[in-house]
Amino acid sequence: MAALRNLAIGAIRLTGRRDITEATRAAARDMHRPFKILKLTS
């Protein structure tokens, strides 16, 4: 679980966001946003 959390935090930071709490809340509101951050969508 820690590895997945660190992956998520690293991916968020790569997008330029510094407020991890707000970024994770925003990602939770839109289920497609985490996939966009990880570039897993076409």
Domain extent listing, the chain: 2-37
Write out pLDDT tens, residues 30-42.
Answer: 888 878 877 887 6
Q: Is the pTM of this model over 0.95?
A: no
Closest to 25 measured CA to CA, from 3, 8, 39, 10: 8
> At which residue do the structure tokens 């939770």 appear?
28
What distance in Å separates the CA atoms of residue 15 and residue 22, rounded to the nearest whole number?
13
Q: Choose between 19 and 31: higher pLDDT.
A: 19
